[in-house]
Structure 1
Amino acid sequence: MKALLSNRGALSNILKKASWLGGPQDQGVLRALNQRPRTRPPFSTKGLTFASSFVKRAFTYKCTECGEQSPQWKGRCPSCSGWNTLEKAEVLRETAKSSGGGGGGGAVAAAAAAAVRPLGERIRNAAPTISRPRTGWVSSVSQRPQRLSEVGRNGYGSQWRIPLRGANGAELARVLGGGVVPGSLTLVGGDPGVGKSTLLLQVAAMLGPEPAIGGSDEEDADEEGPPPAGEAVLYVSAEESVEQVGSRAERMGLRGAKHLFLYSATRLVEVLQEIVAMQPRAVIIDSIQTVYLDDVTGSAGSVSQVRECATALLHVAKRQGVPVFLVGHVTKAGDIAGPRVLEHIVDTVVYMEGERHQAFRLVRGIKNRYGPTDEVGVFQMEESGLQAVANPSALFLSDRQMARNASSAVTVAMEGTRPLLMEVQALTSPVHQGPPLRMPNGIHRNRLSLIMAVLTKHVRLRLHSVDCHTNVVGGLTLTEPATDLAVALAVASSYFERPIAQNIAVIGEIGLGGELRPANHIERRVVEAAKLGFTTVIVPATRAPTATGRLAGVNIIPCRTIKDALEAALGPSVTQNRAPHFEQQEEEENGFLG
C-alpha cells in the first residue's frame, strides 16, 4: 500500500480500470491527479537539525503611567500603585545570546569603548581594553588583583574628588560628601518644575576649569576644535534642543562657559561614543527616561530600557573615570520612575524638594556611597538660577514678627550635621457638624494623631470636638521626632488662645506616656537657637545642657512631661482653665436647648 501511495502513476492506472469511476466528476478527479507535478519520494529527516526561530512572540501587560511590565494583568500596578493602568501589549523578544552581565547595556558599553579610540588619558597611564563584558554591572578593568595600599598611588591620590566652585558649589558639596567623585553615577530626582535641569546646568558650570561668568562672542569664536581631554563638560539633553538649553544658560549668565558642550540626542549609543571620544570632565544626561538602546525591547522610559541604559552608562563611567549625572522623573507617589534596581545601580541618589509656589529648594541626599546620607542643602530659586542660602534658619523665620498673636512654636531640627530652626503653626476650631478634621501640612498625619491623643489623655484637652489644621512655614517637612513638642505646644496654644512668647524655642520628643524624651545634639540645637535671638529654650530634663560656655545667658528650662512643658510655655494655670471657645459653645448649646 505504501508503494502505491508513493507511485502516483500506478495509482492512476488502477483508478482508471475501476468500474465505479464512470461519472464526469470522477474523470475530473483523474485528470487533476495526472496533471499534478510529481515529486520525489519523501526522505527521512532523522539526524538533521534545524535552527529555531529568531523571534518569539510574547504578550505582556505594561503600565501606562510608569512603564512597569507584568506577565499577567493586575488591577493595581506594583510599581506606581496606579489602578487599572496595565494594558496588554505584544512584544518581540530576540533569542540572541548575551555576552555579558547587565544584558544589552554591558554589551553596548563595550562596543562603544572599542569603536572609538580615546583622545587622551584621564587617570591611568593606559586606557583599559576589554575584549568582552564580564558578568555583573561593572566589568573588571584591572589585569590582576591590586593591593589596597597601592590603589591610591595608581589612582587619584589626593585629588580624589572634583571640587565645586563658589557658594553654590559648597552647598551642593555638603550633600555629595565634599565634591564629585570621578567615575561615580549620581541620580537626581524631583517633582516636575522643581529645578533639576537648572541645578545640573549650574553644576556643569561649576565643574569647569575656569570661571563661567562673562565672556564675549569674539572669544567664543576662537575656541574651535576638540576640547582637551579632561576639561570639557558634556550636557546631553534628550528632552530639549540645543537652542533651548542655550537660551536657558544665557538667561542664567553662563554665556562664558567655554568648557560646556551641549548635545541633543536620544540614542544612547551615539552618546556613549561621544563620551569615549571627548573624554570629558563630567557628563549630564537629562533624562534617563528619554534615552534608549536599539537592542533592548520596549520604548524609552520602560523598565527594561531604563535598567539597561543606566547599566551602559555605569560601565562607561567606571572605565573612563568620568562622573555621570542622571535626571530622573518621578511618579504620582513621589518615587523615581522606573525599576527599583535603578537606585541600586547608581552610587548616589539626590532628591530635590520644594513647593512649586515657594522659592525654597532642599537638596537631600538619599543614598551616598562616598559620604553621609542625611545632609541637606538649602537653595533659593531666583531668575539667575538656584542660589545657596547662607543662613536658612533666619530665612525661614523672617516673617514671624508679622504674626505675633499666631499660635506657633519654633523648634530646632537636625538635617544631617546642620541645625535648622522651623516654625510650626496650628489652628483649632470647634466642630459644629460631622467628625473632626485633621489637616496637617508638612507633618505626617499619623504623627499628628499620636500627639493629639497624648494631649487628650494626659493633659485633658477636649481635642475630639475640634478641627485641627497644622502647617510648617516655608513648605518644609518635619521628619524628626525631636520636633513633637513644637507641634503639641502649637496645638495647645490655639486651643487655649494663648500665644507663645517670641523668644521661646522648644525641643523634645513626646512618648506615649506623656513624658519628654531627649534628642541628639541637644547642645548644638540650643546654640543655633541662641544665635538667632532665642533666650529661652524648653528641653527634656534628661541630658539637659547647662547654661555655661557657649550657652551662657540662655534660660534653659528642663521639663519631664508634656504638662510641665505646657505650663512653662503658656503659664502655670493654663491646664486648669477651660478653653474660651468651649465656653461659647456650651452657651450656644444651652440656649438652643432652652
Structure 2
Amino acid sequence: MTPRTRTARGGYRCAECGHLAMQWVGRCPSCQAWGSLEQAAPVAAAPTRTRVAAGAPTAPARRIADVALDSARSRPTGVSELDRVLGGGLIPGSVVLLAGEPGVGKSTLLLEVAAKAAATGRVLYVTGEESAGQVRLRAERTGAVHDELYLAAESDLGAIVGHIDELRPDLLVVDSIQTMSTGDADGTPGGVTQTRAVTVALTGLAKERGLPVVLVGHVTKDGAIAGPRVLEHLVDVVLAFEGDKHSTLRMVRGVKNRFGPADEVGCFELRDEGIVGMPDPSGLFLARFGGPPVPGTAVTVVMDGRRPLPAELQALVTGKDIPSPRRAVSGLDNARVAMLLAVLEKRAGVRLHDAEVYAATVGGMRVVEPAADLALALAITSARRDVALPSDVVVLGEIGLAGEVRRVTGVDRRLAEAARLGFTHALVPPDSGVAPAGMKITEVRDVGAVLQAIR
C-alpha cells in the first residue's frame, strides 16, 4: 500500500496561527487576528510520512552539570528598580522586550539605562522613530550623555548589523522594533512579516555574539503588544511599562522572564529631569501618612506581583433620599465596589442605597485584588458615619457575600511592610499568623462585627 499523499495547493496562510484559507479575508477565522493572512506558495505533493536525515551537530552534547555558568550571569544595568524586575540585570545574549503606551516614558527610561551601561562598556542606541538630534536633546535634559554611548538613526536591519560589526557594543537598544525592516522579508515596516523577521534576526545575532538586546515595542489600543503573537515567544524577557498620564507614577511589570521571577514590579517616578527609581514608593500611595486621621480613609497593603505596596483607599458618602444616587470609582474595580456596597447594606446595616458613593485610590495606583475589601468597607462606613479610623491602623481581608472575612495570601509580607512604615495595629482575617514585633493584630471574622465599632 502506498503512503497517503497530499495534493499541491496554495491559498493564504495566517502568519500568527498558521491557518490556511483558500481565499484572502481580512480577519483570520481561527485566531481572529486582523491582516495576518499572507499568500502561501503551493506545496508540492509529498508523502506525509518522511524520514529526516541526520545532520552534524553544531556542538557535542554535554552533561548539564558541566555547562559553564559564566556566560549566564546577570550584569546590573545601573537602574536598581529595573534590575529588580529583570532578576538582577541583563544576561549576555538575552533579548528583552519593553512594551508600553505612547508617551509613558519607554525611550526616556532606556536612554538612562544606556547611559548607565556606557560607564562599564560600549552601548549602541538605535532609533527609528526620532532623529539623532531629538534623542540628543532628551539626553541633555536627563543627563544621559556619555562618551561610550553611540547613537544611530536607522530603520534598516542591514545597516544596524553594520553598526554592530563596526562598534562591537556590549549592549544594543532598538527603539522601536515596529519601525525596523529588512529586505529579506515582504510587507511594510510594522507589519506582521517584517516585525517577525527582524526579531528573529536580532535574536539570532544576540545568541551568536552574546550581545544583550533591548527592544522597544508598541501596544494596541486594548493594551496588547502590537505585532505577531510569536514576538513574545521569541524574546527572553517581556516587560510591560505602565502608568497613568495624569500621574507621575510609572511601573515596570514582568510578564515573562526566562532568567528570574515573572511577577516582579519596579516603581519609577517621572520627573522633569527624567525617570527616577523609587525603592520606597509609599509616599506616593499614602496621602496623609503621619497626619491627623480623616473620615473616609483606610490603609491596606496590596501585593503587586512579589512586592508589597501600601495603598490608601478613600471614600466619600454624601446625600440622603436621592432617587438615583451616583457611584463613581477611580483606581478600583467597579463590579467589586458595587458588590461590596450591597454586602455592607445587607450584612452590616450600613444605609447606602439612597446616597451617592465615591471611592478612589491615592497616587494613581490601581487596586483590583480582593485583599483590599475590608479596608474599602471601613473607608465607606467611616465616611458614612463621619468617624475617622486611627491613623496607625492597617486593614487586610477579603469579604464574601455572606459578610465573612476571608484569609488572603502573603499576610506576613504585608504586615512586615506595614510595620516598617510605622503602623502599630492591624485588622486581619482569622488564622493570619504571628504579628511582627511592635505590632498588635486583631482578627476579624465578620464585617458587621468590626463595623459596629465605628459609631
- 1:180 equivalent in alignment to 2:90: yes
Match of 2:445 among 529, 552, 560: 560
Instruction: Give 1:194's aligned residue.
Output: 104
Equivalent residues in 2 for 1:243-392, closer than 5 Å: 243-255=133-145, 257-392=146-281
How far the C-alpha of 1:402 sits from its partner, in A, is 6.5
How far the C-alpha of 1:73 sits from its partner, in A, is 4.4
Cα separation, partners in 2 of 1:465 and 1:260, compared to 1, 3 Å: same
- 1:238 equivalent in alignment to 2:128: yes
**Could you tell me how far apart the structure 2 residues matched to 1:78 and 1:496 are?**
52
Secondary structure at the counterpart of residue 335 of structure 2: helix
**Could you tell me how far apart the structure 1 residues matched to 2:31 and 2:224 are?**
12
**Could you tell me how far apart the structure 2 residues matched to 1:252 and 1:96 are?**
54
Instruction: Give 1:493's aligned residue.
Output: 382
What's the Cα RMSD here?
3.2
**Could you tell me how far apart the structure 1 residues matched to 2:256 and 2:308 are?**
20
**Could you tell me how far apart the structure 2 residues matched to 1:295 and 1:540 are?**
60
Instruction: Give 2:437's aligned residue.
Output: 551
**Could you tell me how far apart the structure 1 residues matched to 2:262 and 2:301 are?**
20
**Could you tell me how far apart the structure 1 residues matched to 2:38 and 2:385 are?**
68
**Could you tell me how far apart the structure 2 residues matched to 1:72 and 1:395 are?**
49
Secondary structure at the counterpart of residue 289 of structure 1: helix
Deviation track 1:247-267 (CA, whole Å, cap 9, x = no partner) reads 211211122x12211011111
The code of the aligned residue for 1:551 comes to A
Count the aligned residue pairs: 428
Match of 1:453 among 342, 350, 362: 342
The code of the aligned residue for 2:126 comes to V
Equivalent residues in 2 for 1:512-523, closer than 5 Å: 512-523=401-412
How far the C-alpha of 1:161 sits from its partner, in A, is 1.1
The code of the aligned residue for 1:562 comes to V
The code of the aligned residue for 2:117 comes to L
Whether the 8 Å CA contact 2:99–2:240 is kept in 1: the answer is: yes
Deviation track 1:15-64 (CA, whole Å, cap 9, x = no partner) reads xxxxxxxxxxxxxxxxxxxxxxxxxxxxxxxxxxxxxxxxx99899xxxx
How far the C-alpha of 1:368 sits from its partner, in A, is 0.9
Cα separation, partners in 2 of 1:353 and 1:58, compared to 1, 3 Å: closer
How far the C-alpha of 1:74 sits from its partner, in A, is 5.8
The code of the aligned residue for 2:388 comes to P
Deviation track 1:472-531 (CA, whole Å, cap 9, x = no partner) reads 101011133222211221122222232222121101122232221222332332232223
Instruction: Give 1:533's aligned residue.
Output: 422
Instruction: Give 1:393's aligned residue.
Output: 282
Whether the 8 Å CA contact 2:322–2:355 is kept in 1: the answer is: no
How far the C-alpha of 1:398 sits from its partner, in A, is 4.6
User: Greater helix share, 1 or 2?
Assistant: 1
The code of the aligned residue for 1:232 comes to R
Deviation track 1:403-461 (CA, whole Å, cap 9, x = no partner) reads 84341110011234432111011123347766444332111222222322322331133
Whether the 8 Å CA contact 2:285–2:365 is kept in 1: the answer is: no
Instruction: Give 2:25's aligned residue.
Output: 72
Match of 2:66 among 116, 131, 150: 150
Whether the 8 Å CA contact 1:430–1:466 is kept in 2: the answer is: yes
How far the C-alpha of 1:203 sits from its partner, in A, is 1.0
Q: TM-score with structure 2 length normalisation?
A: 0.85
Structure 1 window deviating more from structure 2 (70-79 vs 143-152): it is 70-79
Cα separation, partners in 2 of 1:94 and 1:414, compared to 1, 3 Å: closer
Whether the 8 Å CA contact 2:99–2:216 is kept in 1: the answer is: yes
Whether the 8 Å CA contact 1:289–1:306 is kept in 2: the answer is: yes
The code of the aligned residue for 1:524 comes to R
The code of the aligned residue for 1:185 comes to V
How far the C-alpha of 1:277 sits from its partner, in A, is 4.3
Cα separation, partners in 2 of 1:248 and 1:183, compared to 1, 3 Å: same
**Could you tell me how far apart the structure 1 residues matched to 2:424 and 2:175 are?**
48
Instruction: Give 1:40's aligned residue.
Output: none
Structure 1 window deviating more from structure 2 (464-473 vs 181-190): it is 464-473
Whether the 8 Å CA contact 1:289–1:328 is kept in 2: the answer is: yes
Whether the 8 Å CA contact 1:235–1:261 is kept in 2: the answer is: yes
Whether the 8 Å CA contact 1:354–1:476 is kept in 2: the answer is: no
Cα separation, partners in 2 of 1:423 and 1:328, compared to 1, 3 Å: same
**Could you tell me how far apart the structure 2 residues matched to 1:432 and 1:77 are?**
53
**Could you tell me how far apart the structure 2 residues matched to 1:298 and 1:468 are?**
52
Identity of aligned residues (%): 40
Cα separation, partners in 2 of 1:479 and 1:273, compared to 1, 3 Å: farther
Q: TM-score with structure 1 length normalisation?
A: 0.66
Cα separation, partners in 2 of 1:395 and 1:74, compared to 1, 3 Å: closer
How far the C-alpha of 1:76 sits from its partner, in A, is 12
How far the C-alpha of 1:92 sits from its partner, in A, is 8.6
Cα separation, partners in 2 of 1:448 and 1:315, compared to 1, 3 Å: same
- 1:207 equivalent in alignment to 2:117: yes
**Could you tell me how far apart the structure 1 residues matched to 2:129 and 2:297 are?**
44
Deviation track 1:101-122 (CA, whole Å, cap 9, x = no partner) reads xxxxxxxxxxxxxxxxxxxxxx
Runs of 5+ in structure 2 lacking a partner?
1-9, 15-22, 44-51
Whether the 8 Å CA contact 1:306–1:338 is kept in 2: the answer is: yes
